[in-house]
Structure 1
Amino acid sequence: MPNWLLTKEATIKDLNLGNNSLSGSLNPIWHTQSSLEVINIHMNHVTGQLPANISLIFPNLELLDISSNNFSGPIPMSLCDIFLMSVLDLSNNKFFGEVPACVFTKFLRIDILRLSNNKLGGLIFGGVNSLPIMNELYMDGNKFEGTIPHNMPANLEVLDLHDNKLSGRLDASFWNFPYLSVLNLAGNHITGEISPQICGLTRLALLDLSSNNLIGSVPNCSFMMLNFLNLSGNSLSGDFSHTLLNTSSLIALDIRHNQFTGNLHWLSYLGNIRLLSLGKNNFEGQITPNLCKLMYLRIIDLSHNKLSGLLPSCIGDISFKGDADDQIFQPADWFKTYSYSTSYDLRDFTFATKGNMYTYGRNFFDSMSGIDLSANMLDGEIPWELGNLSHIKSLNLSNNLFVGPIPATFGGMEEIESLDLSHNELSGPIPLQLTQLSSLGVFSVAYNNLSGCIPNSGHLSSFGMDSYPANTNLHNITQGNACAPGPDPVPEEDVGDFDDPVLYVITAAAFVLAFWATIGFSFCHRYGRSVILKL
């Protein structure tokens, strides 16, 4: 860190050294830097603590960004005496202890306050019930406790408090944010219901209340134009189709791990959806062909529900092809701060693939695509049209009631990385076309009724027997380099018609032969004639 720039003679006004590989610390600086208004040293390797007398060294700072370094220790109270501070970013460091309450009271006006991803704790906002005017507030990824005050700044545009230890209810007085575009309270211990007052947040683009203890139904907010909605990991209930928001604007909908009910006929209204996660609820009925109209889809998770019936073959018509130039979802454009050169960092999305839950960051829509329909009651044959999904990376149809063969067209899934067809009633051989799947990392057809030989060529040869258990008529090849398909099985009805006449002919022929053998023995053999004479 070139502290020699901050000498007595220096008259630097704007110091921007961000995104380099600088080390060292801000100490020692012996002279007041009254000209300095901007310090931006984000994304370096600077260590140590903030100077205890920082307000004396930089009395006229308006922007201080030391994010993504290795600063530690407490936040000095002297920071509160820099009255002109409008942007303060201490995120992604190792600060610990409580935030001085003066941070939330003494600044004349602070537009952006970022304290994310440190080791800070204590009561949220230092126990202060009324905050100064501010536009963006980020305190996520810490250990703050207590309830969220009701008297929040009405001009807030971004409020991110996710992954803390906050508790209590969000009553009607909390929702007075007419300009709010981002609200993220995920990963806390918030209880109670979602108030209908939330419908007044007509500018809200992202709402994340996931991983809390919320109950009740979702209010019907037809005027909200949300782009991202995450309510997963709560105890919400009710018929979701009756409580829908304005779904035409939704790009990502995640309501997994709740108790929602109803059918899925409302899916056709999600015209712009990319991520659709409805897993682990109580949805029932059939998977409507309306799902196939959602041509921008990248993720479909309908797992662990009560869905039944046939799988629409038109799913094979969805491209699942990401587009980096897709202008309809550019988070940097939506949530870019008005006075600061950063953008809102979308919370990571998760998707179960390769047998594990994986987390994907900002490039999620470009890097991942998949379908998870596992743990339902889907039946019938797997549509061969699914083989047209050449850009899909994960397909999980396990724990259903599918019958019939594995479609040979699956060999056309060129980018597939995980294929799970286990725990069904599939029959017939494993198609040799699957040996062409060079990207496959996880493969399971366990607990089916498959027969024939396990292909030992191509990429399938890399999988062990744990991919195939409980298929009694499926055999591994121990000799030879190829798996020749066996004869087609004869239908049972044909076998029954064929066995009876053959058995009859054999029995009759045996009887005739035995009869004439006895006659011949009696008249031609000396012992046989003596027996007849005695009779």
Structure 2
Amino acid sequence: MQVGAYLPMLWNLNISINDFDGCIPSSIGDMKALNTLDLSYNKLSGGIPEHLANSCIYLQYLVLSNNSLEGQIFSAANFKLKYLMRLQLDGNHFFGKIPECLSNSSNLEGLYLSDNCLFGRIPSWLGNMSELVDLIMPNNHLEGPIPPEFCQLKSLEVLNLAQNNISGNLPSCFNPPQIQQVHVSRNKLRGQLKDAFFNSSSLVTLDLGYNHFNGRIPNWICQLSNLSYLILTHNDLEGEVPHLLCHLEHLRLIDLSYNHLSGQIPPCLDMTALHGDYHVAFNTTSSTAGAPGASPMRKEETIEFTTKNISYSYQGRVLTYMSGVDLSCNKLTGEIPHQIGNLTRIHTLNLSYNNLIGSIPSTFSNLEQIESLDLSHNNLNGKIPPQIIELHYINFFSVAYNNLSGKTPERKDQFGTFEESSYRGNHLLCGLPLPKSCDANGSPSLVPKASTDIKEDSNFMDMDIFYISFTASYIVVVLAIAIILYVNPYWRRTWFYLVETWMTSCYYFIIDHLPKGFRH
């Protein structure tokens, strides 16, 4: 395909979202004036032509995402794209290290390498890319620490290194003033969250989940006035949940689950964003997405959050409407603050697997948008508030394995769909869907239980006792016969005579009934 020979002065080529296959034509390198090339969302294979990287010296936007391209990204000897501003190679099969020749593209604003097979360390020269705005490289095999040179990235807005093998600590000096999103989940990062991001007041998303961070939740998080999504799940954090979190008025998703947090739930945890009509209108595309014909490079932000016991990935407009608090699988104590009932716009609340005591607040009936409520595996007592049936949108509910008593909620609307598993492990609860019926006082009825016990006793036999007594009786009978035959010689002779007669009779009986061919 000699497209470059026919269109040598072409400035913008966009043939994305088609079904083109085969290799990228090397003749594209003949387009000396090419500024934008977008071949994304096709079925292209092979590698990036060297002629393209060597001749299209004015290229600023190169978009090859979501194809089947492979091989190493660029060869250092033939790379002359020094004006490159955006490089989007995500969703391919590129392997090898991030090429050092990219350091010659000093104007690089966006580097998008996610969902490939890249390995090796994150190069330190990326810290010298002063114009870098988006650095997005999740789901690769990158390893080693985050280079301390990243502290020089003052223009960075999005950092996404999730799902790699990155280790070490977060550089304490890393606090880009314009950073909006940080995704470093599912790595091997460790250490304490010291001073990183302490001066990043524009931060909207902080996702550090599935790592090995320890120590306390630092106070600088509470200074992130624009923070909307705080994901610290599956770490080794300890100490109390900071009361200063209550100062974050835009906070919509809090996931502190699977840590070692202790103390009480802050009663002030009734954030404005979770009990009003506030919605985040965060722009998920880059503010400089701009050359004519260039596709927006930054994809919609994705955040993983567990609701209804299932992990979902929320993005786009759905994410802006999602809100929830997950404090499960910690060591929290004390009572559930009744102020939690002020979270009228919350969709998910999970306080399971803690050591919470006291009763379920009646204010929970105010959680009018709640879809998933999990209070299981605690030490809660008292009755389930009957007003809770006013939660018309709820489709997952569990108070299992507590010390609750009284009657289960009326089986009405959504609560008519919940099964025994939602209430099991509370021995003083009664009423449907549990097998225990309630008496006039709302306590478990004893009559059905007694009749059941009588029925069970009538059909009950301890098989161990049966086998032991049978064996003992058999041994006693055999010993008694042996002693009698030993003491009385007449009975002994009679016994052996009867045995011999019986054996002879059996022998001739078998012989008489064998076919003639077998008797010899």
User: How high is the TM-score relative to the length of structure 2?
Assistant: 0.78
Q: Distance in 2 between matches of 1:333 and 1:151?
A: 25
Per-residue CA deviation, residues 55-110 of structure 1 (Å, 9 max, x unaligned), is 23433321122222333332222222222211111112222232323232221211
- Alpha-carbon spacing, 1:471–1:150, altered in 2? closer, same or farther (3 Å): same
Equivalent in the alignment of 1:435 = 389
User: How high is the TM-score relative to the length of structure 1?
Assistant: 0.76
1:421 corresponds to 2:375: yes
- CA RMSD, Structure 1 to Structure 2 (Å): 2.4
Equivalent in the alignment of 1:139 = 89
Amino acid paired to 2:113: L
1:114 corresponds to 2:63: yes
For the 8 Å contact 2:32–2:57, the answer to whether it is kept is: yes
Aligned pair partner of 1:151 in 85, 101, 111: 101
Q: Distance in 2 between matches of 1:92 and 1:323?
A: 35
Give the SS at the match of 1:250. Answer: coil
Equivalent in the alignment of 1:238 = 191
- Alpha-carbon spacing, 1:335–1:302, altered in 2? closer, same or farther (3 Å): farther
Give the SS at the match of 1:56. Answer: helix
Q: Which moved more, 1:206-215 or 1:358-367?
A: 358-367
Where structure 1 has 5 or more consecutive residues not aligned to the other structure, the ranges are 1-51, 490-535
Aligned pair partner of 1:66 in 10, 15, 39: 15
Give the SS at the match of 1:357. Answer: strand
For the 8 Å contact 1:162–1:186, the answer to whether it is kept is: yes
Q: Which moved more, 1:74-83 or 1:211-220?
A: 74-83
Equivalent in the alignment of 1:508 = none
Equivalent in the alignment of 2:240 = 286
- Alpha-carbon spacing, 1:73–1:438, altered in 2? closer, same or farther (3 Å): farther
Give the structure, 1 or 2, with the largest relative contact order (CA under 8 Å, sep 6 or more): 2
For the 8 Å contact 1:233–1:258, the answer to whether it is kept is: yes
1:91 corresponds to 2:44: no
The Cα of 1:429 is off from its aligned counterpart by: 2.1
- Alpha-carbon spacing, 1:372–1:123, altered in 2? closer, same or farther (3 Å): same
Q: Distance in 1 between matches of 2:20 and 2:277?
A: 38
The Cα of 1:340 is off from its aligned counterpart by: 4.4
Per-residue CA deviation, residues 182-233 of structure 1 (Å, 9 max, x unaligned), is 0011111111111111111111111111111111111123651211111111
Equivalent in the alignment of 1:453 = 407
Equivalent in the alignment of 2:5 = 56
The Cα of 1:127 is off from its aligned counterpart by: 6.9
For the 8 Å contact 1:100–1:126, the answer to whether it is kept is: no
1:255 corresponds to 2:187: no
Q: Distance in 1 between matches of 2:120 and 2:211?
A: 20
Q: Which moved more, 1:171-180 or 1:120-129?
A: 120-129
Give the SS at the match of 1:64. Answer: strand
For the 8 Å contact 2:222–2:247, the answer to whether it is kept is: yes
Amino acid paired to 2:72: L
Q: Distance in 2 between matches of 1:233 and 1:128?
A: 35
1:268 corresponds to 2:222: yes
- Alpha-carbon spacing, 1:316–1:324, altered in 2? closer, same or farther (3 Å): closer
Q: Distance in 1 between matches of 2:280 and 2:399?
A: 37
Equivalent in the alignment of 2:486 = none
- Alpha-carbon spacing, 1:280–1:102, altered in 2? closer, same or farther (3 Å): same
Give the SS at the match of 2:190. Answer: strand
Q: How does 1:380-529 map to 2 (within 5 A)?
A: 380-455=334-409, 456-477=411-432, 486=441
Identity, in percent, stands at 39
Per-residue CA deviation, residues 462-519 of structure 1 (Å, 9 max, x unaligned), is 112222222222223379xx99994699xxxxxxxxxxxxxxxxxxxxxxxxxxxxxx
Between the two proteins, the alignment pairs up a number of residues equal to 434
The Cα of 1:354 is off from its aligned counterpart by: 1.8
Q: How does 1:185-224 map to 2 (within 5 A)?
A: 185-221=137-173, 224=176
For the 8 Å contact 1:129–1:151, the answer to whether it is kept is: no
Equivalent in the alignment of 1:182 = 134
